[in-house]
Amino acid sequence: MKVCLIGSGGREYAIGARLIEDNPDIVLDVIPGNDTMTFATTHPDIGATDIPAIVEFCSANEIELCVVAPDNPLVAGLVDALEDTGIACFGPRQRGAMLEGSKSFAKQFMFRHGIPTASYAEFHDVQQAQEYAQRASYPLVIKADGLALGKGVVIVDDVAQAHSVLADFMVWRKFGESSAAVIIEEFLSGPEISVLALCDGKTIKPLVSSMDHKKIFDGDRGPNTGGMGCIAPNPVFTAQIATEFEQKIMQPTLTGLIKDGIDFRGCLYFGLMLTVDGLKVIEYNARFGDPETQVVLPLLKGNLLSIFRATSQGRLADVVVECQDRHAACVVMAAEGYPEHPVTGDVVSFPADVEPYLIFAGVKRNGNGELESASGRVLNVLGFGASLGEAIDSAYDHVSAISFAHSHYRNDIGTTAREIEDHHDL
């Protein structure tokens, strides 16, 4: 079978490696891929949002399934273009992808279908937004309406900070047109939960829960990033909370999609917060999370390609989706200066026995064939164990064996989850 995977980062490395592990005889092209994706048959020099070139490549190479992993091509309508030429896809069409592509679209969807979320106001004019901020209670959350690589969310503590962020977003267009409009949202507090769910338009099935760590520094300090580490399963997501999620959030989301005529086929990511008032949706993503994918996929039983095909064909109800009873941890090794100004070009080296636990993200080969840092999030370092503590300790043991100048990583991935788990055991 001929499969094409769109993307080039750690998430795509994890997906591609698992596809080949489960199906060693398939032809797998990764667009654009990276230099470490040796499992790929080819990785053509085509941009992930170059829709005409991708459609031409997939048509010419008789691709039977295209897995579209990143947000940008989904929101740009790549799946629409591919499916309109008869190429099956794992990933939603453009309208479904707007659950991630527009915070306003997602909020309106949630309020329309009674899905619990924070109260909010939407603004397209900076003066009106600043007037609202002047009379608001703090803290507040300001979100760029469009895609911003996970960095378009800022918690503000006072009017001055709010005005500054609003100017950065709406006047100076920090994220281009993505921050031309903003959402100002009620601040919620509580532990966060990530749930990736497979959806074929009629059936939705959750995978194992996880806990992301979005802030750049230990203690959840500093600006948001695309994610600095992750653990799975999430100890906050007890059987009782899982039932609440399925009844009040997951099933109403599927019902809402069907009512709105959105045939969502792919991975729907639920970013959740457990507040004093119950579980609430912080955000939707229309694809696998990064780095959540890196801890969730190793725990998933079954053949990933079969699951993807069933999802794209509307046969998810016929597929058993189960996860292993073990724990996984991922520590992201980023380049110093990430997320604003990452230092790149440093050689990355590691012992051979650590390599099986590495997911290669922002890397490339230099002229000497050495691996070097090429973007913000460079490596995802994994650990597994019968307990959460074992998985975390294993991941950090692997981190300690890696040589990478100007690296930055958090030292507390999983610490909060460990404390919660210890409390549950009392």
The strand order across the sheet containing 120-123 reads: 120-123, 182-186, 140-144, 153-156
Q: Is the pLDDT of residue 110 over 80?
A: yes
My answer on whether 52 and 149 are in the same domain is no
Report DSSP letters for 65-127, one per residue. EEEE-SHHHHHHTHHHHHHHTT-EEES--HHHHHHHH-HHHHHHHHHHTT--B--EEEES-HH
Q: Would you state the pLDDT for residue 151? A: 84
**Digit-coded pLDDT (tens) for 175-213:** 999 999 999 999 999 999 999 999 999 999 999 999 999
Both tokens assigned to 10? 């750690």
- CA neighbor of 204 nearest in space, from 214, 192, 195, 212: 195
Residue 101 maps to a domain: no
Domain check: are 223 and 294 in the same one?
Answer: yes
Q: Is the peptide bond before 139 cis (omega within 30 degrees of 0)?
A: yes
pLDDT, residue 160, reads: 97
- Domain-terminating residue out of 93, 113, 135: 93
In what order do the strands lie in the sheet containing 2-7?
27-32, 2-7, 65-68, 88-90
61 plus 154 within the same structural domain: no
- Mean residue pLDDT of the chain comes to 96
What b-and-e string marks burial along 375-404, b requiring 16 or more CB atoms within 10 Å of the CB?
bbbbbbbbbbbeebbebbebbbebbeebeb
Q: What is the CATH number of the domain that holds 44?
A: 3.40.50.20
Token pair belonging to 416: 């909060």
Query: How far is 103 from 109, CA to CA, in rounded Å?
Result: 10
Task: Assess if residue 416 is contained within a domain.
Answer: yes
Note whether 258 and 313 are same-domain residues: yes
pLDDT digits (tens, 9 = 90+) for 262-319: 999 999 999 999 999 999 999 999 999 999 999 999 999 999 999 999 999 999 999 9
Residue 311 lies in a domain: yes
CATH of residue 139's domain is: 3.30.1490
CATH at residue 344 = 3.90.600.10
CA separation (Å) from 324 to 17, 42, 106, 300?
A: 18, 32, 32, 6
Residues 284 and 300 in one domain: yes
In a domain? residue 119: no
304 and 239 inside one domain: yes
- Confidence tier at 150 by pLDDT (50, 70, 90): confident
Residue 422 pLDDT grade (very low, low, confident, very high; cuts 50, 70, 90): confident
Question: Do 198 and 297 sit in the same domain of this protein?
Answer: yes
26 within some domain:
yes
Domain boundary among 296, 323, 350: 323
Does residue 81 share a domain with residue 46?
Answer: yes
Query: How high is the pLDDT of residue 425?
Result: 63
CA distance 162 to 183: 12
Mark which of 180, 200, 225 sits at the end of a domain: 180
Mean pLDDT of 87-96: 98
Number of domains in the chain: 4
Domain of residue 239 covers: 192-323
Task: Write down the residue that tokens 């900076």 correspond to.
Answer: 126
Question: Is 187 part of a structural domain of the chain?
Answer: no
CB of 360 within 8 A of CB of 10?
yes
Q: How confident is the model over 146-175, as a mean pLDDT?
A: 94
Which parts of 313-426 fold into alpha helices (H)?
Answer: 388-400, 415-425
140-144 vs 182-186, strand pairing mode: antiparallel
Are residues 318 and 349 located together in one domain of the fold?
no
pLDDT: is 356 or 151 the higher one? 356
Going by C-beta distance under 8 Å and a sequence separation of 6 or more, which residues neighbour residue 247?
Answer: none
Query: Is 108 inside any structural domain?
Result: no
Does 166 fall in a domain?
A: yes
Q: What is the pLDDT of residues 328-344, one digit of tens each?
A: 999 999 999 999 999 99
pLDDT of residue 193: 98
pLDDT (tens digit, 9 = 90+) per residue, 225-265?
A: 999 999 999 999 999 999 999 999 999 999 999 999 999 99
420 pLDDT tier (thresholds 50, 70, 90): confident
For the cut 70, the answer to whether the pLDDT of residue 426 exceeds it is no
**Residue 197 and residue 233 in one domain:** yes
Query: Based on the domain organization, do 167 and 228 belong to the same domain?
Result: no
pLDDT (mean) for 401-412: 97
Which residues 6+ apart lie within 8 Å of 139 measured at CB? 155, 156, 157, 187
Concatenated DSSP letters for 221-252? Answer: EEEE-S-SEEEES-TT--HHHHHHHIIIIIHH
Q: Are residues 264 and 359 in the same domain?
A: no
For 177-199, give one letter per residue: b (16+ CB within 10 A) or e.
ebbbbbbbbeebeebbbbbbbbb
